[in-house]
């Protein structure tokens, strides 16, 4: 490893970081869920109420039912995120990230792991949080506040542009 090209940053992930990840997750669910739930309510309410109340009622009731389901899922996942964050003792660890041309090495008190750039399936920036998806259920979170020096941040962005076709970082 070329020490001139390595970036070493550290910090502790916060509940806000995990909540931002939850918001991304909910946004993805919402895209899939809206059509399925709306059509389900539309069919169900259409069968039950079409003759009595008409099309307008069926559409509005379906829309309201879909919104209610989405809000219930959002509240449930928010509560679950807070509970799991408080229960998981590893969230209190100080993480050290070493970022270089090979990938991202994440080190904590419980151990370390190397993630190669080729293993990262997607990357994006949400608010002040960089999210790297390694699999469907695993992601690497790097808050902007971990970068103490603007040159570290610029070098990090250069790694992203070198390893991703169109990184969503702005």
Fold of 7-13+90-163: PH-domain like (2.30.29)
pLDDT value of residue 33: 78
SS (H, E, C) the chain: CCCCCCEEEEECCCHHHHHHHHHHHHHHHHHHHHHHHHHHHHHHHHHHHHHHHCHHHHHHHHHHHHHHHHHHHHHHHHHHHHHHHHHCHHHHCCEEEEECCCEEEEEECCEEEEEEHHHCCEEEEECCEEEEEEECCEEEEEEHHHCCCHHHHHHHHHHHHHHCCCCECC
Rounded to two decimals, the pTM is 0.72
For tokens 């539309």, the residue is 42
Give me the tens of pLDDT residue by residue for the chain, a chain 170 residues long.
333 578 999 998 888 888 888 888 777 777 777 788 888 888 988 888 888 888 888 889 888 988 898 888 888 888 888 888 888 766 677 889 999 988 999 998 888 899 998 888 888 888 889 988 888 778 889 999 999 988 888 888 888 888 887 776 66
Q: What separation in angstroms does the CA of 130 have from each of 58, 70, 79, 141, 154?
A: 42, 26, 23, 6, 14
Token match 């962005």: residue?
Answer: 157
Q: Which sequence spans correspond to the domains of the chain?
A: 7-13+90-163, 15-89
């Amino acid at each position: 490893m070329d020490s001139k090209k390595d970036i070493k940053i550290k910090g502790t992930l916060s509940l806000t970081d995990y909540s931002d990840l939850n918001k991304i997750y909910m946004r993805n669910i919402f895209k899939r869920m809206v059509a399925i739930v709306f059509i389900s309510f539309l069919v169900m309410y259409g069968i039950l109420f079409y003759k009595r109340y008409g099309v307008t009622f069926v559409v509005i009731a379906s829309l309201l039912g879909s919104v209610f389901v989405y809000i219930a899922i959002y509240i449930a996942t928010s509560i679950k995120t807070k509970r799991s964050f408080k229960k998981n003792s590893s969230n209190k660890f100080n993480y050290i990230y070493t970022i270089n041309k090979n990938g991202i090495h994440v080190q904590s008190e419980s151990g370390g792991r190397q993630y190669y750039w080729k293993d990262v399936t997607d990357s994006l920036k949400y608010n002040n949080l960089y999210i790297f998806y390694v699999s469907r259920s695993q992601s690497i979170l790097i808050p902007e506040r971990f970068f103490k020096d603007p040159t570290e941040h610029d070098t990090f962005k250069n790694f992203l542009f070198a390893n991703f076709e169109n990184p969503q970082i702005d």
